[in-house]
Amino acid sequence: VCSNVNKACQAIKTQSASLIPASAHGSIRYAIGRASN
């Protein structure tokens, strides 16, 4: 059970780690697009 919980935790951490930069990157591109228009 512990290893299953750890795997789930690791998966969530990996997902959030990859989601946060992606949304930050999208926000930056959006801001640049707004600024240039």
Whether the model clears a pTM of 0.85, i.e. scores above it, the answer is no
Name the residue type at position 15: Q
- Whether 2 shows a pLDDT value over 80: the answer reads no
| Residue 1: pLDDT band with limits 50, 70, 90 | low
> Into how many domains does the chain fold?
1
pLDDT tens digits for 4-37?
778 887 887 777 666 666 677 778 888 888 888 6
HSE of 17, CA atoms in CB hemisphere, 13 A: 6
Q: What is the pLDDT of residue 33?
A: 86
Look up the domain containing 16 and give its range: 1-36
Q: What is the pLDDT of residue 19?
A: 67
Positive or negative, the Cα torsion across 26, 29, 30, 31? positive
12: left (phi over 0), alpha (psi -120 to 50) or beta: alpha
Q: Tokens standing for 19?
A: 């989601």
